[in-house]
Amino acid sequence: MPNDSDRRNLRPLSLHVPEPRFRPGDVVDFNDFEIPAAGSVDRPAIDADPSAMTGHAYTLVRVLDDEGRAIGPWDPKLSPERLIRMLRHMALTRAYDDRMYRAQRQGKTSFYMKCTGEEATAIGAAYALAGDDMVFPSYRQQGILIARDWPLIDMMYQVYSNKGDRLKGRQMPIMYSARDASFFSISGNLATQYPQAVGFAMASAAKGDTRIAAAWCGEGSTAEGDFHSAMTFASVYRAPVILNVINNQWAISSFSGFAGAEATTFAARAVGYGIAGLRVDGNDALAVYAATEWAAERARNNYGPTLIEHFTYRSEGHSTSDDPTKYRSAEEKVKWPLGDPIARLKQHLILIGAWDEDRQAAMDVEVAEEVRAAQKEAEKLGILADGLKQPFDSMFEDVFEEMPWHLKEQRDQMTAEREAAGI
Contact status, residue 105 vs residue 184, Cβ threshold 8 Å: no
From 69, 228, 327, 411, active-site residue: 327
Helix, strand, coil percentages for the chain (3-state, nearest 5):
45, 10, 45
Active-site residue, 318 included: yes
Among 128, 101, 94, smallest CA distance to 340 is for: 94
Q: Are 278 and 296 in contact, with CB atoms under 8 Å apart? A: no
Catalytic, 62? Answer no
Burial class of residue 14 in the structure, from the number of CB atoms within 10 Å of its CB (0-12 exposed, 13-18 middle, 19+ buried): exposed
Residue 45's alpha-carbon distances to 76, 288, 302, in angstroms, are: 15, 17, 13
Task: Indicate the burial class of 224 (C-beta count within 10 angstroms; 0-12, 13-18, 19 or more).
Answer: middle
State the catalytic residue, choosing from 148, 314, 328, 344.
Answer: 314
Backbone CA torsion sign across 177, 178, 182, 183: negative
Q: Are 242 and 292 in contact (CB under 8 A)?
A: yes
Cα–Cα distance between 398 and 362 in angstroms, integer? 45
Examine the residue annotation and report whether 289 is marked as an active-site residue of this protein: no
Active-site residue list: 314, 318, 327
